[in-house]
Amino acid sequence: MQRTSVRPRSKTFKWKKVVVLPFLSVLFVTQLYPLVWLVLYSFKTNEEILDGSFFSLPRELRWQNYKDAYEGGHYLQYLFNSLLVTSVTVALVIVLSSMVAYAITRFRWRYGTLVMTVFLIGIMIPLQATLLPLMIIFKNIGILNTHLALILPYITFSTPIAVFVLSGFMKSIPYEIEESAIMDGASVYRTFRSIIMPVSVPPIMTVCILTFISIWNEYILAATFISSEKLKTLPFGVNSFIGQYSVNYGAIGALLVLGALPVIIIYFALSERITKGMVAGAVKG
């Protein structure tokens, strides 16, 4: 009986570690460093920030920056506005995109591919190209300088990518599940609500976090359509510390840290579900 030479797995594993670990280490450092730098930045004085030593530690922790950010940056008011706009947008995007993805992938109709193509084209439209038309439309219908002027464009720009992610997952759901539900007397709406939506929780969580992050950090539309101080979202707090002759850089850094906290908390709380959703949408689709 002829023996075949087998390459030791230990050597192969060592070579993979030599190649992969340095790459992952560099990636980890480059992703983590901006956050660490921002935290250090938020504890420095203007003199420490302007002396050009970006890698230095603060001489002392200047907590006054966070007090200034909380009070002078209208943190609670802007935070409430951001939470309101973001939560309403995420909820509507999930409802609309899941129904569209269900109709495209599960119904056998002639224009399903065409509708999917239209949504994919929507991903390629730059946000900046719509500012002037939207400004004119919102002014004519009387919703300029309201939260609705933000929610409607946010839904429009977030729905295409959400449809893309959800449709990739829903294609993998066996048709036998729906057929058995229909034979038991379930309607289309009941099947969608009780079967498709519970199964699609992982990609839905992915859509939630992607939509949340993109809207939470959005500034261009908010700066264009909102002028009232009571309606502005959290990114506007930075402008509170930029004066005609001086800038409070430490308070700006503290406000950025406070603004990033909700996103960081939500991401780490849902990181496992997000990873499963991305894999489900990419591999199963």
Q: 96 pLDDT exceeds 80?
A: yes
pLDDT band at 282 (very low <50, low <70, confident <90, very high): very low
- DSSP code, position 226: -
Give the CATH number, domain containing residue 160: 1.10.3720.10
How does the average pLDDT of the chain come out, rounded? 82
67 in a structural domain = no
Q: Is pLDDT of 285 > 70?
A: no
Q: Is residue 146 located within the same domain as residue 36?
A: no
Query: Are 194 and 133 in a shared domain?
Result: yes
Domain encompassing residue 278: 73-283
The reply to whether 115 and 234 lie within a common domain is: yes
For residues 235 and 212, membership in a common domain is answered with yes
Is residue 6 situated within a structural domain? no
5-64 pLDDT, tens digit each:
545 555 555 666 666 777 777 777 777 777 888 888 888 888 888 877 767 788 888 888
- For residue 83, is it left (φ>0), alpha (ψ between -120 and 50) or beta? alpha
Residues 245 and 164 in one domain: yes
Gap between the Cα atoms of 182 and 188, Å rounded = 8
Whole-number pLDDT of residue 267: 76
More confident residue, 14 or 111: 111
**Which residues are within 8 A (CB) of 258 and not within 5 positions of it... i.e. 6 or more apart?**
66, 69, 70, 75
Distance between the two ends of the chain, CA-based, in angstroms?
45
What are the tens digits of pLDDT across the range 209-264?
889 988 998 888 988 899 888 898 988 877 777 766 678 888 888 888 888 888 88
The CA distance from 95 to 25, in Å, is: 39
185 versus 8: which is more confidently predicted?
Answer: 185
What's this model's pTM, rounded to 2 decimal places?
0.80
pLDDT value at residue 279: 55
**Does residue 1 belong to any structural domain of this protein?**
no
Q: pLDDT at residue 284 above 50?
A: no
